[in-house]
A and B are shown apart, each in its own frame.
Chain A
């Protein structure tokens, strides 16, 4: 497998999950899971629904703690952090949640200004400039005075992107940034993710299952299935992979190692049982 970043080779990794095990209730979500995200690049984390992609994101931000194993962001061990230390780390990580999660009672301007007002002592005129610049980056300076409900879903997410990078974080995490976007918004988001990564020189992690888009923005790509990383490499390398799970995923085949049917007893048995 063309993996340039196995868990052992961590010199260039900005984010690293080492041998992480996590169960929710009785269900094991991740078992002995290891992942390395290279610094300064855009990494796409892909995988079928329910494979634990969002769980990985929540482990990185410290919203979830692993039952076993370690989570590293730079040289900080996230799973040991509590309270103020965890908050200090979070100020350095920008997260774009699935639907943007803007505060509906604040204008776009105030949404982007919130982290600045909360975490810095900058004077208001400077905050105003910073916010307008961030909004300019995502193309929504003109919408500064509007409320989130007055904008489309795609625009909401762009405002949320501006808010996530308000404090100039070292890491940006995107949770399904393309879900339900029209082609124009989607194109804009893809370009923004690339531009933000390049302009700020940061590490970006994009959780997605949009195979077609991944080639346009990702430097590196990991596929998660059955609670582990089944493949990683550049998007092209993955497209050419002869691993069955990877092929099924990259080509969108409905049946394969990830089955189409929910586990059940044979159909004939069930129908006959009904008649009896």
Chain B
């Protein structure tokens, strides 16, 4: 086998899968009737995916802030730039770490449960039952979950930001004895609300959309067996992580 044909074979299936996921998404949107968007169901899903991810986001956010400050404090003090800790912390958090890590944690926590839920609905004929009751499963199941991701992830990113800053403050101000006024004023001076903070939120909305799209798609296309659902949840996590990092690069390149 020539290297090119091997490469072709390895690439063909992911490209096909991407095509299928794209068609799925277009179908989901084509069937969207804005007059009939089920606000109640969307909010219920935001609550499910958001509230379920809250604990892990708070814990991870706090420790990320803590360790980031620990690393930068040590290095920056060595060069006499200890004051810049809060700048580094805030910029790296708002621009990159919070959106990316939240999205990946969201994929692991909420994405997998969306995939498993839809996969099991398929296995237990619940999707068929909707179809037979003349209720469009795309409208009832897929659309609310897609939109919920777009709303929930930015909200979670804000929570992540807050807890990570608290972690940073805890380490820098309370453990290392930095001046809190310097800490906050340096941060305030260097962070731009639009570019840094809102830019991060915009990214996170895209990531939220990406992750819930993949989660819903893999659940929808899962084989209706236990192995099928298990495989689908794994695919959701792996593909989401890759897609988020890739999209992060693309978005950052455009935003800078």
Contacts and interface: CB of A to CB of B under 8 A. Distances in A.
Contacts of A63: 128, 131-132
A114 interface: yes
Contacts of B134: 86-88, 90-91, 115, 118-119
A99 interface: yes
A13 B43 CA distance: 47
B105 to A, nearest CB: 23
Given A97-B125, A99-B124, A101-B124, A114 B132 contact: no
Interface in A232-261: none
B12 interface: no
Of B126, B128, B133, which is in contact with the most chain A CB atoms at under 10 Å from its CB? B133
Nearest to A92: B134
A114 B133 contact: yes
A91 B133 CA distance: 6
Contact of A115 (B124, B131, B135): B135
B129 interface: yes
A104 B118 CA distance: 12
Contacts of B128: 63, 97, 101
Contacts of B135: 114-115, 118
Contacts of A104: 124, 126
Interface residues of A, number: 22
A103 interface: yes
Interface in A70-106: 86-88, 90-91, 93, 95, 97-99, 101-104
A97 to B, nearest CB: 5
A93 B133 CA distance: 8
Contacts of A163: 133
Nearest to A167: B133
B228 to A, nearest CB: 17
A61 interface: yes
Interface string B122-153: 00111011011111000000000000000000
Nearest to A84: B134
Interface residues of B, number: 10
Contacts of A95: 129, 132
A102 B128 CA distance: 11
Nearest to A97: B125
Contacts, number: 45
Contacts of B131: 63, 90
Nearest to B129: A101
Contacts of A87: 134
Contacts of A101: 124-126, 128-129
B144 to A, nearest CB: 12
B125 A118 contact: no
A225 B24 CA distance: 37
Contacts of A115: 133-135
Contacts of B124: 99, 101, 104
A91 to B, nearest CB: 5
Interface in B144-179: none
A98 B126 contact: no
A88 B134 CA distance: 7
Contacts of A86: 134
Contact of B125 (A90, A93, A99, A114): A99
Contacts of B126: 101-104
A87 B132 CA distance: 8
B33 to A, nearest CB: 12
Contacts of A61: 132
Contacts of B129: 95, 97, 101-103, 160
Nearest to A175: B125
A133 B77 CA distance: 75
A101 B135 CA distance: 14
Nearest to B125: A101
A160 B133 CA distance: 12
Nearest to A117: B135
B40 to A, nearest CB: 11
Interface in B173-201: none
Interface of A: 61, 63, 86-88, 90-91, 93, 95, 97-99, 101-104, 114-115, 118-119, 160, 163
Q: Which 4 A-B pairs have the closest CB atoms?
A: A87-B134, A101-B129, A101-B125, A90-B134
Given A91-B133, A97-B132, 14 more contacts: A86-B134, A88-B134, A90-B134, A95-B132, A97-B129, A101-B126, A101-B128, A101-B129, A103-B129, A104-B126, A114-B133, A114-B135, A115-B133, A115-B134
23 contacts: A61-B132, A63-B131, A87-B134, A88-B134, A90-B131, A90-B132, A91-B133, A91-B134, A95-B132, A97-B125, A97-B132, A99-B124, A101-B125, A102-B126, A103-B129, A104-B126, A114-B133, A115-B133, A115-B134, A118-B134, A118-B135, A119-B134, A163-B133
